[in-house]
Structure 1
Amino acid sequence: MHSLVSDNDLRVMSVQIDDNRLTVELMDGRAISVPLAWFPRLCSATPAQRNNWELAGGGYGIHWPDLDEDLSTEGLLKGARAPHPA
């Protein structure tokens, strides 16, 4: 019997950030890696601010309290970039 329930676990397992990329490893073993330039707040932050992240939304999101930045795994998988300031 087939189930309609997905085996994908989109919760965040770990986050790595360097000067060029944001990489998020998911509980199901996948990794999402995107250019840091997609997220201006993260791009202009100090390494200490970038590394001060916490899980949000039951593990389906990442919050940077020092930067007031929030990203979701769903948005990252869709390739959603942060909106550019007006």
Structure 2
Amino acid sequence: MMNTITTETEPVAINAWTEGRMIYVELMDGRIVGFPADRFQILSQASEKQLKSVQIEVNGHALRWEELDEDLTIAGIIAGRFQLPLPRQAA
């Protein structure tokens, strides 16, 4: 039996920003995860200016848009728990 130490902890955000309609999150472990705002109902209706007001909350475990009254958990984003399907690409 191998003696390996693993720390199964929830991912923690240390930075969040937007580029256009994409939202990016930098995690404590060095990963950067991006997702389209249009995968979430409230965010899909938001302007790019509103999206830029993203804040990291709950000790890095959630993203918050105060003006939109929207919260997303970092764990949910990493797990791909999106509310809306990917938009169909124009052929």
TM-score grouping bracket, smaller chain normalisation: 0.7 to 0.9
Unaligned runs of 5+ residues in structure 2 are: 86-91
The structure with the larger Rg is: 2
State the identity %: 25
Tell me what 1:5 maps to.
7
- How many residue pairs match? The answer is 83
Q: How far apart, CA to CA, are the structure 2 residues paired with 1:69 and 1:35?
A: 15
Unaligned runs of 5+ residues in structure 1 are: none
* TM score, norm. by length of structure 1: 0.76
Q: Alpha carbon RMSD of aligned pairs, Å?
A: 2.3
Contact map agreement 2:38 2:84 (CA 8 A) in 1: no
Tell me the alpha carbon deviations over residues 53-72 of structure 1, each in whole angstroms, 9 at most, x when there is no partner: 22222211111110011111
Following TM superposition, where does structure 1 have runs of at least 4 consecutive aligned residues deviating by more than 3 angstroms? none
Q: How far apart, CA to CA, are the structure 2 residues paired with 1:54 and 1:36?
A: 15
